[in-house]
Amino acid sequence: MNFVHQLQALTPHSRLCVGLDPEPGKLPGAWAGDAAKFYDFCAAIVDATKDLVCAFKPQIAYFAAHGAEAQLERLIAHIHDVAPGVPVILDAKRGDIGSTAEQYAREAFVRYQADAVTLSPFMGLDSVEPYLAYEGKGAILLCRTSNKGGDDWQMQRLADVPGQPRLFEHLAHLAESQWNRNGQLGLVVGATYPAEIARVRELAPTLTLLVPGVGAQGGDAASVVQAAGRDAPLVVNSSRAVLYASNGADFAERARAVAEATRQSLR
């Protein structure tokens, strides 16, 4: 199944995506401070939560910063092995053009075997097209992010576009229409902006929304579901609240408990 079909099969059961963002200093017990244990830690989280999620989202920078790319490859292979049908979204936020973008696409889909990747669309459609060449893979575009600096660009109105939409609105429209040639696009919208989630959903009713920020970052699950629509394609990410629910030997058990509670709150 391709990325969209995988989500369609799983989201009636769960809208929860668990983010895999390992930090050495936050690893439990004797693993604390040891980046060589990223795979062991994340694989244990995957094993504990694989029946509760619609996706996993490893953040590439957390692995690359510690020279742990081989562990990331192994981790994604493990997810495909123990949770077949659960898609992996590689959170990379790439945003380049031409042959460079082609190499980034190869990195995501060939080297890491991800099912989807997050992208920054600032450079336009030609920065997205190399990813769309991979049939069935997802390309999830940053649209309305939850950081304060997002207002610098995303909330600005476009005087040369009819209706003078804000930048994030124009992007949502493009992604829903002429950019979405093969039905592969999705959009990232931060959980801390329910009104903008509702607006993006209005403009892009068929696209999958990836919503980070529930849990430790302060996003409210119920508000996200209400804003995005109960029957619309929706993937809500929680990372730190699940990963670091405990720093003891029971870390995987506690991660499962938090994941289950979050999953229930999204139903």
Nearest CA to 87 out of 101, 74, 76 is that of 76
Contact 232, 201 (CB under 8 A): yes
148 tagged catalytic: no
Three-state DSSP at 235 gives strand
Question: For residue 203, how many other CB atoms are within 10 A of its CB?
Answer: 21
DSSP for 31-99, written as a single string: GTT-GGGHHHHHHHHHHHHTTT-SEEEEBHHHHHTTT-HHHHHHHHHHHHHHSTT--BEEEEEE---HH
From 26, 37, 57, 93, active-site residue: 93
Nearest CA to 185 out of 225, 227, 131 is that of 131
- Which positions are annotated as active-site residues? 93
